[in-house]
Structure 1
Amino acid sequence: MSLDHPVSRRLLSDEVFDRLRDSIVRGELVPGEKVKDSELAERLGLSRTPVREALARLVDIGLVEAKPGVYTRITTLNRHDVEKTLSVLRALDQLAIETAVPVMTEGHLQQMRQANRDFERAVAANDTAAALAADDRYHAVPIAAADNPVLSRIVEQLHPQIHRILHRKFSTLLGGRNTIEHHDRLIDVCTAGDARAAAELSGQHWSELGGHINRLFDTNQFAEPPATG
């Protein structure tokens, strides 16, 4: 959905939040870019109040940073912050899987298999958006099965910080056969009911992803022009 498409009044700040979050993840709003609530409100056909509310929520989840009276801008990609986010997501994902495996049904496993096939087709088509959506559906299954609303809420808040990196460097980070094969191995371990082994396998995958991202930082592939102001 385009950022410039008028927003229905009934959706207000929730819809603005979703659109801005997605625009940041896709790189349409780039790291370091200044944003003004008045300009965004005009583009979206709304008053400034819901835009301000959405921006405040984006600050809370780390996608926007604000210095009152000076600037509001898209957060830059910072290695230290990314490492901290990945470590939390790794721990939460392991907790979700270890909790979920004992209660997962064949229906859950089938959802994971279907999501991975969708992921595989999207990778073959070089469709980054579809691949990330399928990857999200895959990982959402054990999180839902774990039935922990606090865990689900925190993961939902943190995912966009990593998605903005995955969207920019998808083929490097998730686009190979290794991710598809990892997904299939995890399904096999979950099917066998080995919760500890499944959690360990998930942790290895997050660690590998962190290593790949670190190498991209090492080669300055996330460098942004200095933000003014």
Structure 2
Amino acid sequence: MKNASAVPATLDPPQDMRIVRAALYDEVVQRLRQMIFEGELAPGSRVPERVLCERFGISRTPLREALRALASEGLIELAPHRGARVSRLSPTDLDHMFEIMEALEALAGELACVRITEAGIAHVKRLHEEMVRHYRQRNRPEYFRCNQRIHESLVQAAGNPVLSRLYASLGDRMRRARYMANLSEERWRQAVEEHEAILDALIRRDAARIGPLLKAHLHHKRIALNTALQTSEQEESVQDASR
């Protein structure tokens, strides 16, 4: 007679162990993604696996799993026997993405002016004030995070799930582009001024005004990013010539 209390041979691993592993994987993916967005891992650079394993206190297995996930997002390129490299930003691809994003954000802003609650406006205003504080402190990473939350809040306030899905599908690739676009002091200052105007239009629920403001804001980012990419390519050419 079988013992009903016997442990089945096919018993799954304890749930808490799987949660820990999933949490580790997610954390590594998030940290690497942030390093790419903020330029610590530059476009075209080789991913230093050994250094990162030591820095994160992990083995190569979770690191490589995370790299494969980022490769599926287009942030990493994997080559057999050559390791991983951060993918370069293609000016043509970026132009195409910015064209779509300009239209999406303009529409989101127009819809948000109609549908956002007073509490939602207050939330965006608080994020804006926090963003400006980080700008004055010259804290780019925290400024960028607040900036992203503002744009995401406008999309959410638009109340259109299809728009939200389209926006999210471009999100990760666009984040890196947005960060690079504000690396110059002059563009950074202009971006803050543009956000002041966008917030004012939202508070006034001026849909006719906020759409063009958001479209122009993204267009200016596109111009700044193209300049940053050209500068980066020129610097790389100089470095290659000196080797």
What is the aligned-residue identity percentage?
27
Correspondence for 2:3: none
Separation (CA, whole Å) in 2 of partners of 1:32 and 1:162: 14
Correspondence for 2:27: 15
Residue correspondence of structure 1 range 111-190 to structure 2 within 5 A:
111-147=123-159, 148=161, 149-166=164-181, 169-174=183-188, 176=189, 178-190=190-202
| The structure with more radius of gyration | 2
Amino acid at match of 2:43: P
Q: 1:57 to 1:163 in 2, by over 3 A?
A: farther
Correspondence for 1:3: none
Residue 28 of structure 1 aligns to a residue in which SS?
coil
Q: In the TM superposition, what whole-angstrom CA distance separates every residue of 1:74-117 from its partner, at most 9, and x where no partner exists?
A: 11243223323322322322232233221111112112222222
Runs of 4 or more, structure 1, over 4 Å off, are 36-43
Q: 1:28 to 1:179 in 2, by over 3 A?
A: closer
Separation (CA, whole Å) in 1 of partners of 2:216 and 2:178: 19
Residue correspondence of structure 1 range 88-127 to structure 2 within 5 A:
88-127=100-139
- Unaligned ranges ≥5, structure 2: 1-19
Residue correspondence of structure 1 range 44-55 to structure 2 within 5 A:
44-55=56-67
Residue correspondence of structure 1 range 54-73 to structure 2 within 5 A:
54-73=66-85
Note the C-alpha offset of 1:212: 2.1
Residue correspondence of structure 1 range 26-41 to structure 2 within 5 A:
26-35=38-47, 40-41=52-53
Note the C-alpha offset of 1:192: 3.1
Note the C-alpha offset of 1:170: 4.9
Q: CA RMSD in A?
A: 2.7
Q: Give the alignment's TM-score, normalised by structure 1.
A: 0.78
- Unaligned ranges ≥5, structure 1: 1-7
Residue 11 of structure 1 aligns to a residue in which SS?
helix
Correspondence for 1:5: none
Amino acid at match of 2:44: G
Q: How many residues align?
A: 215
Could you say which structure has the greater relative contact order, defined with CA pairs below 8 angstroms and 6 or more residues apart?
1
Task: Say whether the 8 Å CA contact 1:66–1:72 is kept in structure 2.
Answer: yes
